């Protein structure tokens, strides 16, 4: 797992952001801090949270988690035992059963994405994350720059991790669900989060972050 600071102003509040598969910091450059420091983790070829991230968390009066897509599952694996230290935990268009016919992405689709992954198909996948041409254009102007071989390895290893790592207990307070999500079907998300977390539905696709001007707006949706 890798990490990078999206915003570091040495304030008292930290948002720890678990990114989705194949992404890096580039698509999130346009989102303001809203008075928070924002530390992003990504690249889930291994699931060990870097010691530097754990040490950074200890320096803040308030730490909240925002996790997106496959990062929803990874965050609970990495931080499940530290839930008591977190002020808010927010899942965005993902579930704790990321490869599941009824609760996540159906296994044949996940495996098909892996087996057919090339530059062209990755771009098709990315386009399916958006409901609007405007948000797709903004993403295209701030595209991830990770090598294809790296993101292919990441997906292969994530699918292996999910097979052997079972989640227990509730971790998230709130789930944001994009009503036109074509990656994690909205109906599957609703089934998963019912009785597990408060649900807020957005008229957005899988990548819904351009709906917000700042990370603080995401946090405020839950209050």
Q: What is the spatial distance between Cα 126 and Cα 172, in angstroms, rounded to a whole number?
A: 26
- Please choose, from the candidates 97, 80, 79, the residue with its C-alpha nearest in 3D space to the C-alpha of residue 184: 97
Can you name the residues that pair with 18 across neighbouring β-strands? 41, 67
- For 141, other C-beta atoms within 10 Å of its C-beta total 11
Contact 173, 197 (CB under 8 A): yes
- pLDDT at residue number 223: 52
- Please choose, from the candidates 51, 47, 62, 48, the residue with its C-alpha nearest in 3D space to the C-alpha of residue 16: 62
- pLDDT at residue number 213: 95
- pLDDT at residue number 221: 84
- pLDDT at residue number 165: 86
Q: Can you say whether the dihedral through the CA atoms of 196, 98, 183, 34 is positive or negative?
A: positive
Strand, coil or helix: 114: helix
Q: What angle do CA 80, 82, 85 make, to 5 degrees?
A: 135
- For 115, other C-beta atoms within 10 Å of its C-beta total 10
At a CB cut-off of 8 Å and minimum separation 6, what does 58 contact?
A: none
- pLDDT at residue number 222: 60
Q: What does the pLDDT profile of the chain (223 residues) look like in tens digits?
A: 999 999 999 999 999 999 999 999 999 999 999 999 999 999 999 999 999 999 999 999 999 999 999 999 999 999 998 999 999 999 999 999 999 999 999 999 999 999 999 999 999 999 999 999 999 999 999 999 999 999 999 999 999 999 998 787 899 999 999 999 999 999 999 999 999 999 999 999 999 999 999 999 999 886 5
Contact 209, 160 (CB under 8 A): no
- Please choose, from the candidates 90, 93, 78, 94, the residue with its C-alpha nearest in 3D space to the C-alpha of residue 15: 90
Distance from chain centroid for Cα 202? 16
Strand, coil or helix: 112: helix
Rg over alpha carbons for the chain, rounded to the nearest Å, is: 16
């Amino acid at each position: 797992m890798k990490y990078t600071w999206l915003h570091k102003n040495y304030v008292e509040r930290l948002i720890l952001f678990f990114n989705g598969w194949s992404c890096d910091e580039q698509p999130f450059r346009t989102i303001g801090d809203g008075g928070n420091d924002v530390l992003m983790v990504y690249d889930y070829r291994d699931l060990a949270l870097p010691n530097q991230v754990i040490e950074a968390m200890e320096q803040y009066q308030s730490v909240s988690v925002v996790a997106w897509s496959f990062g929803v599952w990874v965050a609970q694996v990495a931080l499940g035992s530290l839930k008591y230290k977190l002020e808010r935990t927010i899942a965005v268009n993902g579930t704790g059963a990321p490869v599941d016919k009824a609760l996540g992405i159906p296994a044949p689709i996940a495996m098909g994405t892996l087996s057919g992954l090339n530059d062209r198909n990755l771009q098709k996948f990315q386009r399916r994350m958006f409901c609007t041409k405007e948000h797709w254009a903004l993403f295209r102007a701030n595209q991830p720059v990770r090598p294809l071989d790296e993101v292919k390895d990441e997906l292969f290893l994530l699918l292996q991790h999910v097979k052997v790592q079972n989640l227990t207990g509730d971790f998230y307070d709130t789930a944001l669900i994009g009503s036109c999500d074509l990656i994690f079907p909205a109906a599957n998300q609703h089934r998963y989060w019912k009785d597990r977390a408060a649900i807020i539905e957005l008229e957005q696709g899988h990548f819904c972050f351009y709906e917000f001007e700042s990370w603080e707006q995401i946090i405020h949706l839950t209050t």
